């Protein structure tokens, strides 16, 4: 969707649909010249997410959609949801374009509201239509009227919302169209689009030279070669801080020889959601230009069973020399992350390391689909991510990694094993404990997005079974606060 910005004072142009925002207990304020039946104004209460569609009697708009923001100063998450409701409704009634008139609803913090409006509108209009013979109508253009501060926010929201949509597009793309090599093409495309972003891609030969035995063991069972994508963003000014993001880019997880049951196995195309989020972040960095150096590593591979695949009991060795007993070939995410994290520590040496991964089914049990589980070795970092979660509506909840979780991941034949003992439980914490072995002393957070990457239903701006693009807006908020 394309958003255009119009000043609050600009005259309304002819439009199929005019969207206006209302507050509970306050009569809706329509732009000058627009009239609707009195009854529509009277029966619209302005409660949170309430909608009222009416034909216009006079003025440049054919129809008017009123949306309620609820009582008092609206929360940004409510604004996002309302904007998404509006664009979805516009699509449903077949409007190709619409005008959003913000009136004087936003006083303070107009920039934040503008950003939330544009984010909600961008995210609410996302659809993957590539494979449909007949695509449903979606709103193509939205003009937003507002004051300068609000419109500056709109421009940012268009970027962050657009980056979320890119991540979702990569997520929702079926695994035969989003192979490791396709992740590489996307990374190259993003780097081509910005002078501040460069990309290097390690292929299997390069990874063999670097002795990335854990990552390479996962791709051995697949006919698709694995890659380690390394994006880097350098600001114009010398940055004070260097952040490294690592995203699990498993384009399909069959489980390997420890094969998964066939029910819902199709969902394992989403096992690259961490990598998709990293790519989404980089697309937005090019436009937001924060004063922070950011690196993004995406280990990308398939996990398939065949004669070359990892066998339960195999021992593989990561690039830092750690040997790992692969007791379950379905715990493959931690194997590819082990090499990526060790590589980040040894070659990038960031001030902060954050990984995102659809790592464990256990986090879905613990936190469901609306929250991301956060673990690591640095309370302040986790606190900052929780705060960014609150600011963006991408909720983050801390989970522990304790000594006994770490002890449980020690191996018998190798230094580590890739699953815990059967009675331990706490699968997300033991997964995090495994990863903790590869980050050294670097302040590190592990975001388990196995629940939040798809299947969320609470937020109007993303949909049900499909990917959520989680992590993109969260990390952009975090990164911008470090600049």
Residues near Zn ion (CB under 5 A): 250, 253, 271, 333
The 8-class DSSP code of residue 58 comes to B
Closest alpha carbon to 308 in 227, 219, 414: 219
CB of 406 to Mn ion, least distance (A): 21
Q: What is the 3-state secondary structure (H, E, C) of 185-233?
A: HHHHHHHHCCCCEEEEEECHHHHHHCCCHHHHHHHCCCCCCCEEEEEEE
Residue 401's binding partner, choosing from Mn ion, Zn ion, ligand BES, none, with beta-carbon cut-off 5 to 8 A by kind?
Answer: none
CB of 460 to ligand BES, least distance (A): 23
Cβ-closest residue to Zn ion? Answer: 253
Cβ-closest residue to Mn ion? Answer: 330
CB of 125 to ligand BES, least distance (A): 27
Closest alpha carbon to 19 in 115, 149, 151, 144: 144
Among 188, 260, 289, 311, the one annotated catalytic: 260
Q: Which is nearer to ligand BES, 271 or 293 (CB)?
A: 271
Return the structure tokens found at 236: 């114009």
Q: Which is nearer to Zn ion, 124 or 249 (CB)?
A: 249
Return the structure tokens found at 76: 């940004």
Q: Which is nearer to ligand BES, 47 or 328 (CB)?
A: 328
Residue 477's binding partner, choosing from Mn ion, ligand BES, Zn ion, none, with beta-carbon cut-off 5 to 8 A by kind?
Answer: none
Rg of the Cα atoms in the chain: 24
Q: Which is nearer to Mn ion, 182 or 332 (CB)?
A: 332
Residue 419's binding partner, choosing from Zn ion, Mn ion, ligand BES, none, with beta-carbon cut-off 5 to 8 A by kind?
Answer: ligand BES
370 in Cβ contact with 465 (< 8 Å): no
Closest alpha carbon to 464 in 129, 93, 126: 126
Q: Which is nearer to Mn ion, 113 or 270 (CB)?
A: 270
Q: Which is nearer to Zn ion, 269 or 473 (CB)?
A: 269
Residue holding tokens 């060795």? 317
Residues that bind Mn ion (CB under 5 A): 253, 330, 332
Torsions phi, psi for 431 (to 5 deg): -60, -45
CA distance 438 to 441: 9
Return the structure tokens found at 267: 């969902």
Ordered DSSP codes for 281-319:
HHHHHHHH--SSEEEEEEEEEEE--STTS--TTEEEE-T
Answer yes or no: 334 catalytic.
Answer: yes
Answer yes or no: 168 catalytic.
Answer: no
Please name every residue paired with 230 in a beta bridge, in sequence order, or none if there are none.
200, 297
CB of 473 to ligand BES, least distance (A): 21
Element (H, E) at 98: strand 97-101
CB of 346 to ligand BES, least distance (A): 25
Return the structure tokens found at 26: 């306050």
CB of 196 to ligand BES, least distance (A): 32
Element (H, E) at 144: strand 141-146
Q: Which is nearer to Zn ion, 97 or 452 (CB)?
A: 452
146 in Cβ contact with 102 (< 8 Å): yes
CB of 416 to ligand BES, least distance (A): 13
Residue 361's binding partner, choosing from ligand BES, Mn ion, Zn ion, none, with beta-carbon cut-off 5 to 8 A by kind?
Answer: ligand BES
Residues that bind ligand BES (CB under 6 A): 253, 271, 328, 330-333, 358-362, 364, 419, 427, 450
Q: Which is nearer to Zn ion, 121 or 327 (CB)?
A: 327
Residue 450's binding partner, choosing from Zn ion, Mn ion, ligand BES, none, with beta-carbon cut-off 5 to 8 A by kind?
Answer: ligand BES
Q: Which residues contact 61 (CB under 8 A, 6 or more apart)?
A: 12, 14, 15, 16, 17, 18, 34, 99
CB of 340 to ligand BES, least distance (A): 15
Torsions phi, psi for 398 (to 5 deg): -70, 145
Among 334, 345, 459, 473, the one annotated catalytic: 334
| Residues noted as catalytic | 260, 334
């Amino acid at each position: 969707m394309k958003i255009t910005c119009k000043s609050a004072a600009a005259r309304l142009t002819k439009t199929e649909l005019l969207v206006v925002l209302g507050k509970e207990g306050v009569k809706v304020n329509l732009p000058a010249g627009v009239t609707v039946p009195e009854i529509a104004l009277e029966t619209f209460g302005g409660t949170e997410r309430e909608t009222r569609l009416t034909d216009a009697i006079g003025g440049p708009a054919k129809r008017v959609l009123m949306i309620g923001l609820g009582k008092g100063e609206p929360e940004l998450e409510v604004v996002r949801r309302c904007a998404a409701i509006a664009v979805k409704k516009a699509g449903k009634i077949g409007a190709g374009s619409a005008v959003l008139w913000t009136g004087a609803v936003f006083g303070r913090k107009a920039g934040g509201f503008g950003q939330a409006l544009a984010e909600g509108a961008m995210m609410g209009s996302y659809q993957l239509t590539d494979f449909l013979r007949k695509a449903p109508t979606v709103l193509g253009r939205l003009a937003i009227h507002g004051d300068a501060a609000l419109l500056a926010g709109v421009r940012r929201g268009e970027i962050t919302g657009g980056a979320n949509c890119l991540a979702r597009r990569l997520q929702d793309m079926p695994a035969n169209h989003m192979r490791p090599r396709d992740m590489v093409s996307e990374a190259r495309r993003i780097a081509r689009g910005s002078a501040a972003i460069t990309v290097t891609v390690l292929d299997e030969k390069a990874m063999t030279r670097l002795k990335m035995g854990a990552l390479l063991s996962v791709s051995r069972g697949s006919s698709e070669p694995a890659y380690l994508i390394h994006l880097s963003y350098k600001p114009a000014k010398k940055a004070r801080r260097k952040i490294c993001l690592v995203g699990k880019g498993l384009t399909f997880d069959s489980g390997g020889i420890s094969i998964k049951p066939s029910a819902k196995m199709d969902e394992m195309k989403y096992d690259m959601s961490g990598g998709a989020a990293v790519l989404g972040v980089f697309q937005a960095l090019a436009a937001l230009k924060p004063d922070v150096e950011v690196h993004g590593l995406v280990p990308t591979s398939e996990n398939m069973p065949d004669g070359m695949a990892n066998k339960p009991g195999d021992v593989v060795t990561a690039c830092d020399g750690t040997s790992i007993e692969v007791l379950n070939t379905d715990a493959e995410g931690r194997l590819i992350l082990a090499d990526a994290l060790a590589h980040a520590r040894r070659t990038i040496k960031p001030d902060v390391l954050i990984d995102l991964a659809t790592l464990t089914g256990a986090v879905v049990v613990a936190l469901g689909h609306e929250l991301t589980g956060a673990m690591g070795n640095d309370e302040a970092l986790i606190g900052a991510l929780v705060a960014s979660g609150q600011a963006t509506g991408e909720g983050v909840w801390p989970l522990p990694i304790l000594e006994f979780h770490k002890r449980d991941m020690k191996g018998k034949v190798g230094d580590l094993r890739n699953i815990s003992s059967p009675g331990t439980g706490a699968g997300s914490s033991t997964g995090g404990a495994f990863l903790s072995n590869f980050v050294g002393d670097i302040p590190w957070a592990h975001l388990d997005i196995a629940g939040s990457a798809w299947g969320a239903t609470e937020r109007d701006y993303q949909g049900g079974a499909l990917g959520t693009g989680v992590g993109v807006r969260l990390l952009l908020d975090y990164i911008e606060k470090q600049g």
